[in-house]
Chain A
Amino acid sequence: DTGVSQNPRHKITKRGQNVTFRCDPISEHNRLYWYRQTLGQGPEFLTYFQNEAQLEKSRLLSDRFSAERPKGSFSTLEIQRTEQGDSAMYLCASSLADHYEQYFGPGTRLTVT
């Protein structure tokens, strides 16, 4: 399977705990994006990387959220001190630079209890 993969697929955590998600993009894609999708809504952009550089961050990305792409391949999204409002599906997508088609992974569903 050469598509975008995300791990874990599901995560249940207690409020106040930290969580980390991983995304592996399509191998030749140098851009990687994170989106968040809540129930009944479309995905909302969080941030994106070109290679290892984080080029844009949404105002949705509070200081409890941090994303990295240290070697320009996989990326991690960490949420510190989780809150119930963080419960959502976290989607990762990848693309080639200057190509507008973004290909999405299956997502990580986070539930904060």
Chain B
Amino acid sequence: GEDVEQSLFLSVREGDSSVINCTYTDSSSTYLYWYKQEPGAGLQLLTYIFSNMDMKQDQRLTVLLNKKDKHLSLRIADTQTGDSAIYFCAESGGSSASKIIFGSGTRLSIRP
């Protein structure tokens, strides 16, 4: 079945780069996403990448996709305290073109 796995926690020093990794199982996934969730809030779509792309950059965010290994990563450059949140990796377009399958989220904490 479809599954998305990511590590639960990541701690980085303010100003460093954060790299959050994710693996997925559905080779027919079409879109891969990164969503951000702050405490008590809904999910904010950060960025997404189509499965025929290897990389996407958007300001401080860089997404890398290794389709062969079914591995997705999100790099946040110059991490700030406002980046503290839970980051969800997700995919869609496999068995259902409409529903998004989410990982359990990676909690990013920032050390001063």
Contact = CB atoms under 8 A, between A and B. Distances in A.
Interface of A: 4, 31, 33, 35, 40-45, 48, 55-56, 58, 91, 93, 100-107
Interface residues of B, number: 23
Nearest to A92: B42
Main secondary structure of the interface of B (DSSP, over half): strand
Contact of B102 (A44, A105, A107): A44
Given A100-B30, A100-B31, A101-B48, A91 B96 contact: no
A13 B92 CA distance: 34
A4 to B, nearest CB: 8
B43 interface: yes
Contacts of A93: 43
B42 A91 contact: yes
B43 A43 contact: yes
24 contacts: A33-B99, A33-B100, A35-B100, A40-B104, A40-B105, A41-B104, A42-B88, A42-B90, A42-B103, A43-B43, A45-B100, A48-B98, A56-B96, A56-B98, A58-B99, A91-B43, A93-B43, A100-B30, A100-B92, A101-B45, A102-B45, A102-B100, A104-B45, A106-B42
